[in-house]
């Protein structure tokens, strides 16, 4: 299995889960500008949309889109208990979280990395993100992880996205439950190893 990644980008969530679940895998860093990977592959032949993550399976199939890659990795290693079984109500709760992170947090923060963003647009993006973070902070006040007592793929994704805040000048102290979650996930051995590998 090979994960195509950019350091600290949303692909880091899949990287964390590869380690949490004990997969044997390689990572290959993308150069966005050239669309070549560190191993010399033409990334356009891997994911013609040109963005990470992409996961090449041992079968040769390539899976893309973070929320799908994360669920695939969890489902292939059910013993790691990183997602509830397919078809259960709990699984739909997990999918709610994944979709919320992707569309309400990731995309609102992601826009702030655009070097052409106007000051007005930037303010609007930060306001929208902050409204969602306010709500999420309230939801997280009574639980260590998104799904309750147990770490899941959604926590790896939330950790990754919230990790962009300091780089974007967004102070996370105002969201104590999110800050606590971030510290809790940061201390996991798989997360420490992921960050070291991506640096
Ligand atoms: N819809 C994709 C979006 C992935 C995405 O936003 N990737 C970013 C990094 S976090 C990226 O590679 N951006 C580079 C680009 O779009 O050119 C997913 O959910 O996986």
E-strand stretches of the chain: 2-5, 26-31, 36-37, 54-56, 62-64
> Does the predicted model carry a pTM greater than 0.75?
yes
Taking the centre of ligand 1 as the mean of its atom positions, its distance from the CA of residue 51, in whole angstroms, is 5
Is there an atom of ligand 1 within 6 Å of 110 CB? yes
Largest CA distance in the chain: 48
What are the backbone dihedrals phi and psi of residue 38, each rounded to the nearest 5 degrees, phi first? Answer: -60, -30
Residues of the chain with CATH 1.20.1050.10: 89-188
Give the closest residue (by CA) to ligand 1 atom 14. Answer: 51
Per-residue pLDDT of the chain (199 residues; tens, 9 = 90+): 999 999 999 999 999 999 999 999 999 999 999 999 999 999 999 999 999 999 999 999 999 999 999 999 999 999 999 999 999 999 999 999 999 999 999 999 999 999 999 999 999 999 999 999 999 999 999 999 999 999 999 999 999 999 999 999 999 999 999 999 999 999 999 999 999 999 9
Centre of ligand 1 to C-alpha 125, Å, is 17
Asked whether 105 lines ligand 1 (CB < 6 A), one says: no
Given CA atoms 10, 154, 82, 146 in this order, what sign does their dihedral have? positive
Q: What share of the chain is helix, strand, coil (3-state, %, to 5)?
A: 55, 10, 35
CA distance 114 to 103: 17
Residue span(s) of the chain under CATH 3.40.30.10 come to: 2-80+190-198
Distance of CA 52 from the midpoint of ligand 1 (Å): 5
For position 128, what pLDDT does the model report? 97
| Pocket flag, ligand 1, residue 31 (CB < 6 Å) | no
Q: From the CA of 142, how far away is ligand 1's center (Å)?
A: 31
* CB-ligand 1 contact for 50 (6 Å cutoff): yes
Tell whether ligand 1 has an atom less than 6 A from the beta carbon of residue 6.
Answer: yes
What's the token pair of residue 121? 């647009």
Handedness of CA 75, 78, 82, 84 (dihedral sign): positive
Q: What's the confidence (pLDDT) of residue 78?
A: 98
Q: Whose CA is nearest to atom 13 of ligand 1?
A: 51
pLDDT of residue 134: 98
| Fold entry, domain 89-188 | Glutathione S-transferase Yfyf (Class Pi); Chain A, domain 2 (1.20.1050)
Measure Cα distances from 83 to 1, 11, 141, 198 in Å. Answer: 20, 18, 21, 24
66 lines ligand 1 (CB under 6 A): yes
Judge if the beta carbon of residue 8 lies within 6 A of ligand 1. Answer: no
Residues 6+ apart with CB under 8 A from 19: 190, 191, 193, 194
Question: For the domain 2-80+190-198, what is the CATH code?
Answer: 3.40.30.10
């Amino acid at each position: 299995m090979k994960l195509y990644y950019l350091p600290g980008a949303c692909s880091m969530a899949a990287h964390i889960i590869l380690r949490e679940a004990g997969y044997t895998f390689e990572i290959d860093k993308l150069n966005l500008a050239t669309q070549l990977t560190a191993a010399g592959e033409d990334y356009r032949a891997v994911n013609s949309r040109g963005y990470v993550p992409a996961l090449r399976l041992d079968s040769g199939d390539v899976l893309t889109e973070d929320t799908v890659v994360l669920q695939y990795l969890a489902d292939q290693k059910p013993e790691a208990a990183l997602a509830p079984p397919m078809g259960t109500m709990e699984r739909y709760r997990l999918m709610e979280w994944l979709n919320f992170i992707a569309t309400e947090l990731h995309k609102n923060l992601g826009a702030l990395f655009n070097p052409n963003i106007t000051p007005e647009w930037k303010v609007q993006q930060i306001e929208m993100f902050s409204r969602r973070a306010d709500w999420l902070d309230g939801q997280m006040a009574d639980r260590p992880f998104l799904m309750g007592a147990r770490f899941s793929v959604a926590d790896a994704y939330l950790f990754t996205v919230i990790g962009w805040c300091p780089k974007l000048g967004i102070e996370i102290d105002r969201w104590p439950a999110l800050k606590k979650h971030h510290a809790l996930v940061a201390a996991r051995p798989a997360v420490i190893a992921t960050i070291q590998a991506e640096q």
